[in-house]
């Protein structure tokens, strides 16, 4: 019996079990494990969902869009506006990346809301890989575009010389912590929400198992779960939005300094 089991009342329900990665097709390349796992499967499902929405739903190219085409166009306009508002004209060439990123995170989060599914974004390695890629990419863009002048990003304008060393250190630390805050925010939100749902599901089973008077009490955690599922869907969207918009802001910093 694990520690998690004891937390949920020792009912044999591990709220962390849903995050376990299990290989479906084991693949090994010279000692590197590249197995097709349940995580890989849900990544592929997210990609299939996005492609279905943006490629197949748009195949009609109707002048007056149907439901699915409307959703595809709405997503496009949403991300396009986000890039335009936060990065401006210079961000246009990065729009496909921001769009892919937003849709991938959104679909991963939303698919995670399905029962028995796997939330790929609830793994720190996935969100950290995305965040680190963004961090390195944005830094390279800034260095290539501004050269040495890129370092002025760490020196706010109109700063008294006395405060300079302190502020520059703070700015550098805050810049370096970007990939950590970006990845942990998404991962922690996803994991906490799903764990919470599992814990309360454990309460329901516990109450039903206890029988008698407790059977009626099971309605309370069920009601909580219904409400919390609604909140989780909001969080799933919001975190995808935050992830994408922070990427836009970092990109804007690198392109225009500030």
Partner 1 sequence: MPQLDFATFAPQLIWLTLVFGVLYLVMARVALPRIATVIEERRDRVADDLDTAAQLKSDTDDAIASYETALAEARTKAHSIAQETRDRLTAETDAHRADLEGQLAARIADAEKRIDATKTQALTNVRDVAVDVADAITQQLLGDSDRAAAERAVDGELT
Q: Closest approach of Cβ 251 to partner 1, in Å?
A: 16
CB of 212 to partner 1, least distance (A): 35
Query: Which CB sits closer to partner 1, 11 or 47?
Result: 47
Give 43 or 204: the residue with its C-beta nearer to partner 1. 43
Max CA distance (Å), the chain: 73
What minimum distance in Å lies between the beta carbon of 23 and partner 1? 7
What minimum distance in Å lies between the beta carbon of 164 and partner 1?
39
Nearer to partner 1, 60 or 88 (CB): 60
Question: Smallest distance from the beta carbon of 63 to partner 1, in angstroms?
Answer: 6
Which is nearer to partner 1, 207 or 250 (by Cβ)?
Answer: 250
Chain CA centroid to CA 46, Å: 12
- Residue 32 Cβ, how far from partner 1 at the closest point, in Å? 6
- Provide the 3-class DSSP secondary structure of residue 26: coil
- With 0-12 CB in 10 A as exposed, 13-18 as middle and 19+ as buried, what is 202? buried
- The CA distance from 241 to 148, in Å, is 32
Nearer Cβ to partner 1, position 73 or 253?
Answer: 73
Quick check: helix, strand or coil at residue 217?
A: helix
Residue-wise DSSP of 91-131: GGGGHHHHHHHHHHHHHHHHHTTSTT---GGGSHHHHHHHH
Q: Report phi then psi at 161, rounded to 5.
A: -60, -30
Cβ proximity to partner 1: between 93 and 158 the closer is 93
- CB-based contacts of 41, cutoff 8 Å, min separation 6: 24, 118
Can you give the binding site for partner 1, defined by CB under 8 A? Answer: 16, 19-21, 23, 27, 32-37, 39-40, 43-44, 46-47, 50-51, 54-55, 58, 61-63, 65, 69, 72-73, 76-77, 95-97, 99-100, 103-104, 120, 122-126, 129-130, 187, 191
Q: How far is CA 227 from the centre of its chain?
A: 21
């Amino acid at each position: 019996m694990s520690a998690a089991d004891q937390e949920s009342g020792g009912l044999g329900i591990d709220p962390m079990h849903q995050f376990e990665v299990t290989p479906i097709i084991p693949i090994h390349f010279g000692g590197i494990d590249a197995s097709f796992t349940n995580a890989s499967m849900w990544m592929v499902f997210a990609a299939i969902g996005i492609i279905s929405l943006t490629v197949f739903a748009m195949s009609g190219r109707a002048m007056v869009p149907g439901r699915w085409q409307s959703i595809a166009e709405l997503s496009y306009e949403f991300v396009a506006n986000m890039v335009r508002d936060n990065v401006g004209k210079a961000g246009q060439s990065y729009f496909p990346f921001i769009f892919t990123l937003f849709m991938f995170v959104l679909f991963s989060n939303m698919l995670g809301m399905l029962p028995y599914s796997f939330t790929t974004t609830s793994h720190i390695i996935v969100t950290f890989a995305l965040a680190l890629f963004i961090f390195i990419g944005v830094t390279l863009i800034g260095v290539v575009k501004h050269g040495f002048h890129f370092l002025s990003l760490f020196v706010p304008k109109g700063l008294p010389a006395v405060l300079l060393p302190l502020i520059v250190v703070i700015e550098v630390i805050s810049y370096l912590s970007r990939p950590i805050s970006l990845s942990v925010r998404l991962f922690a939100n996803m994991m906490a929400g799903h764990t919470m749902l599992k814990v309360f599901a454990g309460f329901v089973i516990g109450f039903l198992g206890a029988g008698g008077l407790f059977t009626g009490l099971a309605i309370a955690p069920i009601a909580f779960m219904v409400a919390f599922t609604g909140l989780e869907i909001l969080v799933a969207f919001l975190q995808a939005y935050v992830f994408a918009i922070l990427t836009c802001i970092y990109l804007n910093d690198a392109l225009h300094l500030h």
